[in-house]
């Protein structure tokens, strides 16, 4: 009996001691350590809400969140006090850095950018990932997001390889195909309401399935659905405090369901792994996507590099959830912003159309969306509108609202000394909404704040803008997510204009990321219909500005300086009056041989000079034309010392006649062509041309001998003479050889004369062509072909060795410059054709009329 009593006494004593030890350990954890940490931090000026036994501040946080979420919200982006009311409130109460409590666990909330930068850069490896909450661990496992040390290095190395630049480039076609599938569905909802959040969820799931796992959304649908159920369970329990060890004896319904889901996800991923391993037998490799690299690592012969099946499963879970969740919310909030801010939607669309037109996006164009070269406006790079929009969207609705780390040992952070066993929480919300950095308009969507890039927007303080983190542990899929968003947005903007549905209720909530509680409903209108309406409106405004507002404004401006003239008539200007006056003057025969031809050939100029003075304003259609007959003004204009009076833009018919040759062009091109012409017609060259001129005149006089004492049509004779001379001296041929060119140029001249006073609008010519336009196009092409044949003939003589140079005449000079070794001096074949046309017509027309 004594032995039994002794045993009972010993057992009771042991039990009491164990209970006392457990109680002491419990009190140390939930009372002594928190009070000790609170005291250490308060001694350094860091305060916060007081620690509550066991629960810390969890009950307060739950209550504040419930209260903020219960209130309806306007369409405002000031969501910090709604989603994180505790941090928002305590920041104002305790300062930029304060101490709060997640149960008995101390959590130092950091909103000072320099401290955030020091923590995330983690150069001394003092700030480790926090212990993952059990529900969160079921979502991500011990993968890239949660692991540490050598394991993290191994996982990061593989992920870097999977999402390197070349791999991302190869993913673009799959991304485009996935977006095309979504847009194909949208065709059935054009003009109707579309639930874009759900559409983007399916899209991003499809893209990560294709690019990382070589499957599609339907194959991975079960995994996505199970992961989303786990996310909801995590969100429901995120602020609940549970004592360690309790879960071994009692499990909640969420515990049971989450374990079942975790097992289901694991089984599905292992099936996918087995399928890839079987495929390897047929194709000879595991593939180059993420899954292929993981399965290959699982089969690595080097044990140090080998991945376990559990590691492969955890990485797959990580990228399944992270690979679509981030981009889903990014696309959703960005489309919301663009639906509200139509001006930015238009800017983004304009940029997309400039880059791609209506063609599918490509990797090169997507890469250029970071920076856009704005030649010829100026020689510099600028941030693309799409990049500015995405940056601002990520600022207001960051994928992660906070980054957490833990301190294992005593460490110095800035001027603070942190004790062991304290968690650090960097508030992305607070950093992204600091008025001292971003200005008082911090809650407004203003992409222009990123017009100079992130560095300028943040005053070179990289740690105040951390949508994807900072340092070594920044998100490995940043470029994947932004490329995906740019491709999707580009293809949507190419096809649709979108507005926000009146049914939309603005209620952002936080699960893993910030998502719209009730989705985002938008109306997609085909871009063609919208563009057509806008185009017609702008076309009308442009037309009225061109044919009414501008002429009236110029007329009033000149009248205020005493310059008058015939009143502007809508569209036609003065052209109808001029046509009538010309027709009337030409219908009357001249009474005698008089050289007073001014009122006959230019009756409008003659009459209006008498009526309005030597300088007056008239109108060629809606184009103002100041007629100048004052010698001093004429001298100033033609001398053009300041370069203020360039050549006028010629009409299409005249351009076909003269091309863009020396008579028409300006600037460096004119200088180059003038230099060639000066050389061809300088004093020595003219001297050498005299025999050819004499011979041509002798040929004409020989013909005249047959008509001595008879009537001769001297104008036609001189036309042939001048044509012969320009052919011989400038082109090394004869009138008969160039007769076809002269005849065609004369036909073009007749067409030019016939259309001189007709008013046409350039855009109309793209759709409807007159008989003269068709004929002139044909003649222009024939002239071009004839001149090129003449050039080829001269070149062939050099090639065959018949001659050793292109010749010293004008044509030879042109061909020589066309073959110049120096690209800066070289002229194109088009330049040669235009110069030949110019000298063919000008070289005989001027002298012909002078002689006649």
Where is the binding site, in residues? Answer: 475
C-beta separation of 195 from 519 below 8 A: yes
C-beta separation of 147 from 442 below 8 A: no
Output the known binding site for heme.
475
Q: In what order do the strands lie in the sheet containing 402-407?
A: 98-102, 105-110, 422-427, 402-407, 127-128
- What tokens appear for 647 in the block? 């050549």
Residues linked to residue 372 through DSSP beta bridges, in sequence order:
382
Residue spans of alpha helices (H) in 371-451: 385-396, 428-432, 435-438
C-beta separation of 257 from 265 below 8 A: no
Angle at 254 between CA 249 and CA 257, to 5 degrees: 100
- What tokens appear for 712 in the block? 């001769």
Contacts of 78 (CB under 8 A, 6+ apart): 443
Residue spans of alpha helices (H) in 284-413: 290-298, 309-340, 342-356, 363-368, 385-396
Q: Which one-letter DSSP state was computed for residue 643?
A: S
CA 799 to chain centre: 49
- What tokens appear for 168 in the block? 């991302």
Distance CA 464, CA 438 (A): 9
C-beta separation of 485 from 515 below 8 A: no
Nearest C-alpha neighbor of 243 from the set 66, 22, 511, 15: 22
Instruction: Please return the burial class of 563, using the count of CB atoms within 10 Å of its CB with bins 0-12, 13-18 and 19+.
Output: middle
Distance CA 449, CA 457 (A): 6
Instruction: Please return the burial class of 546, using the count of CB atoms within 10 Å of its CB with bins 0-12, 13-18 and 19+.
Output: middle
Helix (H, G, I), strand (E, B) or coil at 94: helix
| Length of the chain in terms of residues written | 852
Distance CA 242, CA 354 (A): 57
Instruction: Please return the burial class of 77, using the count of CB atoms within 10 Å of its CB with bins 0-12, 13-18 and 19+.
Output: buried
């Amino acid at each position: 009996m004594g032995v039994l009593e002794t045993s009972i006494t010993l057992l009771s004593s042991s039990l009491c001691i164990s209970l006392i030890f457990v109680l002491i350990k419990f009190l140390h954890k939930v009372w002594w350590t928190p009070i000790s940490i609170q005291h250490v931090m308060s001694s350094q000026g860091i305060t916060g809400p007081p620690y509550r036994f066991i629960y810390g501040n969890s009950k307060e946080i739950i209550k504040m969140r419930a209260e903020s979420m219960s209130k309806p919200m306007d369409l405002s982006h000031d969501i910090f006090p709604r989603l994180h009311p505790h941090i928002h409130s305590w920041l104002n109460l305790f300062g930029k850095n304060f101490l709060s409590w997640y149960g008995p666990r101390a959590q130092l909330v950091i909103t000072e950018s320099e401290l955030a930068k020091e923590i995330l850069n983690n150069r001394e490896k003092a700030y480790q990932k926090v212990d993952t909450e059990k529900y969160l661990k079921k979502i991500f496992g011990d993968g890239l997001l949660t692991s540490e040390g050598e394991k993290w290095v191994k996982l990061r190395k593989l992920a870097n390889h999977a999402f390197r630049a070349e791999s991302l480039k190869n993913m673009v076609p799959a991304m485009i195909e996935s977006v095309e599938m979504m847009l194909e569905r949208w065709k059935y909802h054009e003009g109707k309401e579309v639930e874009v959040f759900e559409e983007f969820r399916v899209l991003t799931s499809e893209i990560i399935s294709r690019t990382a796992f070589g499957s599609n959304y339907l194959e991975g649908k079960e995994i996505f659905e199970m992961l989303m159920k786990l996310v909801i369970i995590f969100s429901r329990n995120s602020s609940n405090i549970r004592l360690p060890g309790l879960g071994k004896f009692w499990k909640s319904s969420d515990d049971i369901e989450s374990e079942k889901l975790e097992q289901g996800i694991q089984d599905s991923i292992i099936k996918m792994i087995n399928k890839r391993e079987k495929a390897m037998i047929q194709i000879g490799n595991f593939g180059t996507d993420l899954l292929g690299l993981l399965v290959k690592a699982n089969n690595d012969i080097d044990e140090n590099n080998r991945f376990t099946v559990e590691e492969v499963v955890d990485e797959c879970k990580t990228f399944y959830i992270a690979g679509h969740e981030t981009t889903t919310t990014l696309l959703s909030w960005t489309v919301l912003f663009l639906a509200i801010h139509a001006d930015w939607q238009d800017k983004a669309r304009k940029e997309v159309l400039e880059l791609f037109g209506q063609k599918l996006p490509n990797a090169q164009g997507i890469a250029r969306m970071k920076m856009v070269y704005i030649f010829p406006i100026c020689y510099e790079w600028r941030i693309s509108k799409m990049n500015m929009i995405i940056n601002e969207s990520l600022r207001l609705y960051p994928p992660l609202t906070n980054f957490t780390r833990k301190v294992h040992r005593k460490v110095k952070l800035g001027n603070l000394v942190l004790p062991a066993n304290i968690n650090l929480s960097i508030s992305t919300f607070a950093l992204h909404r600091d008025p001292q950095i971003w200005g008082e308009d911090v809650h407004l969507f203003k992409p222009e704040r990123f017009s100079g890039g992130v560095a300028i927007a943040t005053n070179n303080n990289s740690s105040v803008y951390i949508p994807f983190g900072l340092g070594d542990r920044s998100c490995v899929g940043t470029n994947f997510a932004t490329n995906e968003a740019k491709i999707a947005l580009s293809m949507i903007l190419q096809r649709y204009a979108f507005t926000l549905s009146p049914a939309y209720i603005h209620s952002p909530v936080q699960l893993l990321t910030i998502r719209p509680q009730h989705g985002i409903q938008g109306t997609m209108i085909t871009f063609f219909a919208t563009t057509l309406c806008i185009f017609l409106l702008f076309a009308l405004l442009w037309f009225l500005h061109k044919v009414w507002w501008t002429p009236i404004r110029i007329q009033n401006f000149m009248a205020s300086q005493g310059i008058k003239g015939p009143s502007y008539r809508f569209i036609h200007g003065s052209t109808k009056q001029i046509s009538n006056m010309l027709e009337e003057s030409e219908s009357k025969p001249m009474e005698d041989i008089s050289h007073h031809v001014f009122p006959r050939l230019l009756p409008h100029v003659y009459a209006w000079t008498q009526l309005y003075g030597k300088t007056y304003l008239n109108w060629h259609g809606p184009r103002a034309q100041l007629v100048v007959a004052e010698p001093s003004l004429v001298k100033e204009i033609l001398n053009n010392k300041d370069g203020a009076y360039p050549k006028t833009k010629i009409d299409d018919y005249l351009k076909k006649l003269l091309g863009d040759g020396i008579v028409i062009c300006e600037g460096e091109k004119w200088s180059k062509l003038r230099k060639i012409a000066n050389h061809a017609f300088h004093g020595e060259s003219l001297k050498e041309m005299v025999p050819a001129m004499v011979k041509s005149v002798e040929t004409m006089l020989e013909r005249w001998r047959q008509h001595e004492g008879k009537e001769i049509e001297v104008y036609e004779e001189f036309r042939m003479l001048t044509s012969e001379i320009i052919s011989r001296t400038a082109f090394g041929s004869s009138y008969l050889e160039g007769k076809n060119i002269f005849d065609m140029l004369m036909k073009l001249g007749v067409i030019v004369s016939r259309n001189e006073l007709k008013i046409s609008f350039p855009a109309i010519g793209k759709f409807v062509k007159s008989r003269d336009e068709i004929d002139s196009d044909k003649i222009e092409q024939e002239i071009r072909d004839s001149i090129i044949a003449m050039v080829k003939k001269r070149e062939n003589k050099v090639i065959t060795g018949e001659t050793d140079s292109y010749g010293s005449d004008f044509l030879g000079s042109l061909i020589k410059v066309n073959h110049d070794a120096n690209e800066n001096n070289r002229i194109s074949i088009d330049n040669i054709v235009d110069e030949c046309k110019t000298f063919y017509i000008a070289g005989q027309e001027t002298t012909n009329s002078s002689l006649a």
